[in-house]
Structure 1
Amino acid sequence: MALNVPALLSVLLFYALTLGIGVWASRKSKKLQKNGNRMEVAIVGGRKVNMVIGLFTTTATWVGGAYINGSAEIVYLPGRGLAWLQVPVGFALGLILGAIFFVTPMRSKKYLTMMDPLQEAYGDSMTCLLFIPALIADVCWFAAILASLASAVSVILDIASYLSIIISACIVITYTLFGGLYSVVYTDVIQLVFMVLGLWICIPFAVLNSATKNIAETAVHRVFQAPWLGNIDRQYIGIWIDDLLYLGLGSVAWQIYFQRVLSASTTTQAKVTTAVSAVGCLVLVIPSVLVGAVAASTDWNQTSYGLPSPYERGEASMILPIVLQHLCPLYVSVVGLGAVAAAVMSSADSALLSSSSLFGYNIYKRILRKTASEKEVMVAMRISTIVLGGTATGMAFLSNSIYDLWFMCGEMVYALVFPQLCCVLFVPRTNTYGSVIGFFLGFILRLLGGMDSINIPPIIHYPWCTLINGAYVQLFPFKTFTMLVTLSAQILVSYVSEYLFKKSWLPKRWDICNVLKGEDASAKGKEEMGTFHLQNMSNNEPN
């Protein structure tokens, strides 16, 4: 197979356009920084992102390269199918829950990041602990979506995948480095448009290819493989529910989400954009579903791909670029590749900005260098952008295992960070003792439940734990159980410890976390933080 020159030129043109928009947006960011707080502009866009841009960037953040590639793969896989496509429903559920419950309390205190309320309530040490799973998850996500682009490029362009990883990463790092949130949200607009149009242009050609059977027929009848609608066996109901709750609830506790929420001009706008983006997640998965259905309905022996099938070759994860390459004309596959590149970059920049914001503000400014000037914090954020982006780029070469690693980190966020966020926002008087016990108990339980991605077999065998193909599988929804245990332990230990100290059943000198003294200090700290943010607000908003 020769180098696909038209596709290469189209991708380079798209990259140039994206970089140009990012640089243009960085100029707007610099103008706003001159008139207001530089950190606030870089992290949350000065809280001036309008409704349309907010809708585009929130949707593009979730609908990324891993999303469209992974959705097509699930629908195509025999034994899975549409019935197991939980990501769109889970993300939509998370966004709706976020709009109903989380937007108002986060915006009412003018926070800059998701870690702010946790840092107020539980202190700097717990912030550092909670920062670790959030940071690793962001870096792994960045790496995973770069790897998804590499697979598409290697199929369609027939060039080394490492080139696409390096070029894509350099472009994302460059415009994120100089423009902050504004560069990210404005490039998200063009990326989402490219992705939607590019995929929909390809769909008719793939569906009507002579090698493809009617997808309505193959949805329920076996032709080349099992029907692509799929089914949920009764013994796997627990896993299905567990994964859906993990995707829904776990997707809330991410800085990339709250960065959009906190950047909106008003609280009402933040709620509306979040809710509409939930609908967008459901609608924009349709092209991927159709690609997966087409792949499951194709006689690959009649295509240039030949036999064995992608599934038999172990290439199911690349099914979307394979369909674009072998079931569409050349000029159409070029457009499709642009769509994949757009989807990848729309999520990669968000993950990079998320992690650098948490490090620059919550770790560097509020823990390592409390006297640091805004200029120094901005430098720290830029350095962290380069370091974290470089680390994720290196990890992207581990494409065979990076998805499992990202999924594992996401589960840690679900088990450890989500309960902490719920407690600090909705359960009064939870304290550092409860936070510490909840964190470590949740961490241990999650490890003992087993992790296939790092070859840790289950030590705790929950109900219905079954030996399948030589390995034990947890059929019980243990991820959600672990999250609930973490939540319950945090609340119980917080209230019991406070009661014991107040009643002097435990000597007050043992109160190493200063829970009793911290009640007054916490109130004072919240007042000071609110004052800090209000002083740097360009415009006050009604809550």
Structure 2
Amino acid sequence: MEVNVAGLVVLICFYLVIFVVGVLAARRIGHTGQPSLESSIVADRNIPTVVGIFTMTATTVGGGYINGTAESVATYGLVWTLAPLGIFIGLITGGVVYAGPMRDKRYMTMLDPFYERFGHVVVFLIYLASLWGDLFWTASILNALGTTLSVIINIDLTVAIVTSAGVTVAYTMVGQMISVAYTDIVQLFFIVLGLMLCVPFVLTNEHVGNLEMTSASWLGQLTPGSISPWIDLLIAMTFGTIPWQAYFQRVLSVQTSRQAQVLSVTGGCAALILVIPSVIIGAASTTADWNVTRLGVSPLAINKSSMVLPYVLYEFTPPTVSIIVMSSMDSSILGSSSMFTYNIYKNILRSKASDKELLWVQRLAILALGVIATLISLYVPVIYGLFILAADVVFVILLPQLTCALFFKVSNAYGAVCGYLVGIILRFGAGEPYLNLNPFIFYPWFSETDGQIFPFRTFAMLCSFVTILVISFFANLLFRKELLPKYLDILGISDREGYHYSPTPPASDASELSASQSDKDRSNVTTNSTAM
């Protein structure tokens, strides 16, 4: 088949618009003063609420979300497509419970409360878990985008992935958070417009039947024996939505905690609404006559379930319409680069680094992470399985750690390290079918045919949470009551007693300080705090 010229032209225009918007947004920073680390990570905490809602929504409604939803509906049914519902509840929970405390304390990244409560060792461990999630999230988005382009435009998959990654890395390096925020608006516009235009074409196509004919297939079913795994997945997808730097980077980029809560709740509602076209497309794939298409057979029949959405758009919509459904992976690589620059390089490796040096470190980190994610998407054949496992690790490991760091003063580094290890062992011990990882822990009700029926994800998370609190209690008793000599306190929890995170706001943040007196009071109180 020849290259789809019309689709290629639309693609080039799309990338030009995205790149220009990213560069113009970056120049906007230049007109407001010298770029700083705070401007690159949290956009000087001055993202307007409307822009924040758009970028929060776009962070969720990306290629993996819309492609994955269509795939899940076509393969397992709507009842097992839990990501949209989980993300909806998760973002609202994040806004109500976590967004306010994070923004009130003026943190720069998600890792700051870990540094405040636990110190360097735990920060490094948490970063590794978060990096795992971000890299495979990025790779899955690139893979979804690349397969869509390769099918619709008929270009080489490698070319599609490398081009998409290159454009995204370029404008993210130039403008960091401000560029990502404004390009998210453009990308969300294209995604929404494309899906709204595609659905009528799909439903009115002569080769797509009535959805009621295959409702039993695309609705799916929930049997008594599958209720436990269903609940486990829903809980994991709900609360696993919260502990991501991409989420908190937006929460920390607005002016007040109230705005952070608003964009979280609104973003969750928007993500649930915008998933409807993907559900319809997934359902339509089950009733389409694939024998008359250029593919000749259903994607499910040839083990290409991940390409359900691209093939439906390719076969049943005009080329110039289908190519509009686009997304990118800028949020995840920006998040990981921000945490590396601020929490690893600045706080651990070079505490005296200048803002100029840190900005260059962040740019290089964006480039490196973009290259790694691109290579993963090209050469790792089980990206979906790795992403599922990464999401589980975020839920099992990061959620209890973040909760303890924010809300439980008894928690300390010893509890955090032990909880980290317990969570990893209990989760990996359950195995992972997508990776052919055999279980070495056989939970109750395990069977060779159905695998782990016990809600092992939730169990592992709760065990990690309890371990953090229990070990922390005994560590505090031993070291802070001097039952053990101080030289045995290798993680230094006795030295961290009374330690508080103390950001230094720039002079340009005066308007924000006057709008948030609590931030000002906190800054005064913590002036004499001692860092680790």
| Alpha-carbon displacement from aligned partner over 1:122-173 (angstroms, at most 9, x marks no partner) | 1111111110011121111111111111111121111111111111111000
CA distance in 2, matches of 1:90, 1:425: 22
1:12 aligns with 2:12: yes
Q: Is the 8 A contact 1:25 1:179 kept in 2?
A: yes
In structure 2, the partner of 1:500 is 478
CA distance in 2, matches of 1:476, 1:16: 49
Deviation, 1:31, is 2.7
Matches within 5 A, 1:339-350: 339=325, 341=326, 344-345=327-328, 348-350=329-331
CA distance in 1, matches of 2:315, 2:255: 46
Aligned counterpart in structure 1 of residue 308 of structure 2, from 315, 319, 324: 319
Secondary structure of the 1:338 match is: coil
Matches within 5 A, 1:111-260: 111-220=107-216, 227-260=217-250
Q: Is the 8 A contact 1:360 1:381 kept in 2?
A: yes
1:484 aligns with 2:462: yes
Secondary structure of the 2:207 match is: coil
Change (3 A) 1:182 1:504: closer
Deviation, 1:535, is 5.8
Q: Is the 8 A contact 1:29 1:180 kept in 2?
A: no
Deviation, 1:382, is 0.6
Question: Which one is further off, 442-451 or 43-52?
Answer: 442-451
In structure 1, the partner of 2:264 is 274
Deviation, 1:2, is 1.6
* Normalised TM-score (structure 2): 0.94
CA distance in 2, matches of 1:30, 1:143: 31
Deviation, 1:454, is 3.4
| Alpha-carbon displacement from aligned partner over 1:382-409 (angstroms, at most 9, x marks no partner) | 1111111011111111363112112211
Deviation, 1:281, is 1.0
Matches within 5 A, 1:291-306: 291-306=281-296
Change (3 A) 1:263 1:436: same
Letter in 2 for 1:320: L
CA distance in 2, matches of 1:434, 1:486: 9
Deviation, 1:503, is 4.1
| Alpha-carbon displacement from aligned partner over 1:321-371 (angstroms, at most 9, x marks no partner) | 11111112xxx33222221x2xx21xx010111011000100000000011
Deviation, 1:45, is 0.6
Matches within 5 A, 1:313-392: 313-328=302-317, 332-339=318-325, 341=326, 344-345=327-328, 348-392=329-373
Q: Is the 8 A contact 1:442 1:482 kept in 2?
A: yes
CA distance in 2, matches of 1:363, 1:179: 21
Aligned counterpart in structure 1 of residue 399 of structure 2, from 418, 429, 432: 418
Deviation, 1:514, is 2.5
Deviation, 1:536, is 6.5
Change (3 A) 1:16 1:502: closer
In structure 2, the partner of 1:25 is 25
Task: Report the RMSD for the aligned CA atoms in angstroms.
Answer: 1.5
Letter in 2 for 1:337: I
Count of paired positions:
515
Q: Is the 8 A contact 1:434 1:491 kept in 2?
A: yes
Deviation, 1:33, is 4.4
Letter in 2 for 1:302: V
- Unpaired segments of 5 or more residues in structure 1? 221-226
CA distance in 2, matches of 1:509, 1:153: 59
Change (3 A) 1:453 1:301: closer
| Alpha-carbon displacement from aligned partner over 1:482-505 (angstroms, at most 9, x marks no partner) | 011000000001111112334443
In structure 2, the partner of 1:2 is 2
Question: Which one is further off, 482-491 or 507-516?
Answer: 507-516
Secondary structure of the 1:513 match is: coil
CA distance in 1, matches of 2:131, 2:422: 20
Change (3 A) 1:502 1:13: closer
In structure 2, the partner of 1:42 is 40
Q: Is the 8 A contact 2:91 2:268 kept in 1?
A: yes
Question: Which one is further off, 506-515 or 156-165?
Answer: 506-515
CA distance in 1, matches of 2:266, 2:213: 33
| Alpha-carbon displacement from aligned partner over 1:214-257 (angstroms, at most 9, x marks no partner) | 1133214xxxxxx2111112212121111111111111000000
1:92 aligns with 2:88: yes
Secondary structure of the 2:206 match is: coil
Question: Which one is further off, 510-519 or 271-280?
Answer: 510-519
- Unpaired segments of 5 or more residues in structure 2? 519-532
Q: Is the 8 A contact 1:169 1:389 kept in 2?
A: yes
Change (3 A) 1:446 1:433: same
Q: Is the 8 A contact 1:32 1:41 kept in 2?
A: no
Secondary structure of the 1:324 match is: helix
Deviation, 1:517, is 2.7
Q: Is the 8 A contact 2:103 2:260 kept in 1?
A: no
Q: Is the 8 A contact 1:144 1:399 kept in 2?
A: no
Change (3 A) 1:111 1:304: same
Deviation, 1:97, is 0.6
Secondary structure of the 2:497 match is: helix
